[in-house]
Structure 1
Amino acid sequence: MFIIIAALLIGLSLGVLGSGGAILTIPVLIYGLEQSEIIAITSSLVIVGTISLVTVIVNLAKKQINWSMVLLFGLPSMIATYMGAWLASYTEQSIQMLVFALVMMTAAWRMHKAKAVANTANIAPVKSVFLGGLVGTLTGFVGVGGGFLIVPALMTFARLKMSAAVATSLMIISLNSVVGFLKYQQVLIDIELTLDWQVIGLISVIGSIGSLIGQKIATKLPQQKIRQLFALILLLMSSFILIQTLLNF
C-alpha cells in the first residue's frame, strides 16, 4: 500500500508539474524501502525516466513538445548528465545526499516563486545550453530529473505556456534518465550490486498511470496553489534529509 500511494504521488507530480519525480522517489526508496543511496538513485533514474517517457508517448498527438528546446536544452543536458554521474562515482554518498537535500530546498523555492507565463516560444539559445548543462549535472550527480529547473526555465526564457513546458520537460527528463542510468549501472556492476526490478516495475507502472491522470486534471487545478503546496512538502522532506545526513557524518 505504501508503494502504491508513493508511486501515485510521484506520477501525479510529474503529470501536473513536469517535475518532482526523483525528488519524491529517492526518499521513498531510501527511507521507506531502506535501499542504499546508490541503489535508490539508480532506481530513481529508471522509474522517473520510464514514467516520463510513457507520458510523452501517450501525449505525442497533442503536439505540445517544443522540439527546438529538446535539442537546445536536452542535448547539453544529456552530456552533462553523464559527466555528473561520472563525478558522483568518485564522491561519498553522504555528500551526494547533502547536495540532494540542498537541491530539494532550491526546488521548493523555485516552485514557490514560479508563475505562469503566456504563450509561445521565444528561444534564448545561450541560456538554454547553460541551463541544460546545469540540469544535466544535477541529474547525473544526485539522480534528479531536474524538472523543477527545466519547467521554470522553459516558461521564463523560452516563454512556453505551462502545458508545453511540462511536456517538453518530460521529454528532456526521459533522455537524461537514460544517460544517467547507463553510467550508474556501470558503477553498480563494478561494486557487484543489483537493482530490485520488481519494485522498479511496480512503481513505474503505477506512477505512469498517476502521471497520465495528472495531465488530465492539470488544467482544472489552481497551478499556483499546487506549486506552493508541493514547495512546502519539498521543504519539509529536504529538512528531514538534511538533518539525517548531518547526523550521520
Structure 2
Amino acid sequence: MTALALALLAGAVTGLALGALGGGGSVLAVPALIYLLGFTPAAAATASLLVVTVSSGIALLGHARAGTVRWRHGVPFALAGLVPAAIGGAVSVRLPAGLLTGAFALLAAVAAVRMLRPSTPLREDAPVRRRRVATAGAGLGAVTGVLGVGGGFLAVPALVNVVGLRMRAAVGTSLLVITVNSLVALAARAGAAVGVDWARVAPFAAAAVLAAWDGRRLAARVSAGSLQRIFAWALLAVAAFMLADAVL
C-alpha cells in the first residue's frame, strides 16, 4: 500500500474516532504516523496536533449545531489547560524518542481501561467543584502538550465524572477542550525543527476532517457504549505494540 493510501486510511480512522467519541483520534494518529508513515515520535506528535486541531474544530461545529456542546462548562475546563499545554509543547521536542513512545503507550493503555469501565455521571443538581475542574483541565493540557494528543479520551470521562455532563454532551464539549488545547500546544511547538513532512500530513488531515463529520452522524446512530468498547480494545492492542517497541 502506498504512503498516500496509508495516510488517507489512517486519517479517516482518526477523524471517525474524533467525531463519534469526542476524542481518541490522536491516540491512533500518533502511532499511525510513526509506524505507517515513518515519522519520529516528536514529529508525529506535532503533526498529530495539527490534524486533531483541524478535525476536532470541524467536528465541534457539527456538535454545536446539534446542541450537544455545553459552553458554560467547557470553557473553564479548556482555559485551565492553556498554560500546561504551552509548557508541555515546548518541552516535548527536547525529550528522548524512547521516553515519548513508552509514555504514550502507557497513557493509551490507561485510556483504554478507563473507556472499558462505565462512567457514572454526577446528579444533575450536584455542585461542580471548581478546583477539581481546574485540576482535571490542567492535567489534560499538560498531556496534550507533551504527547501531542488532544486528550478527548481523558476529557470525556472527566466531563462526565467531574463536571456531571451526560455522555452525548460530554462528547460534544470535549471537542471544544481538544481544539483549544491542541491549538495552544501546536503554537508552542512552532519553529521547532522536528522534521515534519507536511506533504504526507496534508492528505492525512484532509481524510480526518471529512471523516470527523461522518463520525458525528455515526454517534447519533450507534450507542456511545458500543463505540467506546470497540475503540478501547483496539487501543489496548496499539498500546501493547508500542510498549513492546519501546522496551525491546
Structure 1 counterpart of 2:132, which letter? Answer: K
Say yes or no: does 1:144 pair with 2:145. Answer: no
Query: For residue 164 of structure 1, what is the aligned residue in structure 2?
Result: 169
Note the residue ranges of structure 2 that are not aligned, 5 or more in a row. Answer: none
Cα distance in 2, alignment partners of residues 161 and 87 from structure 1: 35
Cα distance in 2, alignment partners of residues 28 and 58 from structure 1: 26
Q: TM-score, normalised by structure 2?
A: 0.91
Q: Report the 3-state secondary structure (helix = DSSP H, G, I; strand = E; otherwise coil) of the residue aligned with 1:187.
A: coil
Q: How does 1:54-65 map to 2 (within 5 A)?
A: 54-65=58-69
Note the residue ranges of structure 1 that are not aligned, 5 or more in a row. Answer: none
Say yes or no: does 1:107 pair with 2:108. Answer: no
Cα distance in 1, alignment partners of residues 118 and 18 from structure 2: 16
Percent identical pairs in the alignment equals 29
Aligned residues: 243
Q: Is the 8 A contact 1:115 1:224 kept in 2?
A: no
Say yes or no: does 1:235 pair with 2:236. Answer: yes
Cα distance in 1, alignment partners of residues 125 and 165 from structure 2: 5
Cα distance in 1, alignment partners of residues 66 and 221 from structure 2: 17
Cα deviations across residues 187-219 of structure 1 (Å, max 9, x unaligned)? 22xxxx443223222122211221111111212
Structure 1 counterpart of 2:52, which letter? Answer: V
Query: In the alignment, which of 118, 135, 140 is matched to residue 140 of structure 2?
Result: 135
Structure 1 counterpart of 2:238, which letter? Answer: M
CA RMSD of aligned residues (A): 1.8
Q: TM-score, normalised by structure 1?
A: 0.91
Q: What is the Cα deviation at residue 119 of structure 1?
A: 8.2
Cα distance in 1, alignment partners of residues 125 and 39 from structure 2: 41
Query: In the alignment, which of 8, 27, 43 is matched to residue 39 of structure 1?
Result: 43
Q: Is the 8 A contact 1:119 1:161 kept in 2?
A: no
Q: Is the 8 A contact 1:116 1:162 kept in 2?
A: no
Structure 2 counterpart of 1:75, which letter? Answer: L
Query: For residue 208 of structure 2, what is the aligned residue in structure 1?
Result: 207
Cα distance in 2, alignment partners of residues 96 and 120 from structure 1: 39
Structure 2 counterpart of 1:143, which letter? Answer: G
Q: Report the 3-state secondary structure (helix = DSSP H, G, I; strand = E; otherwise coil) of the residue aligned with 2:189.
A: helix
Cα deviations across residues 169-200 of structure 1 (Å, max 9, x unaligned)? 11111111111111222322xxxx44322322
Q: Report the 3-state secondary structure (helix = DSSP H, G, I; strand = E; otherwise coil) of the residue aligned with 1:71.
A: helix
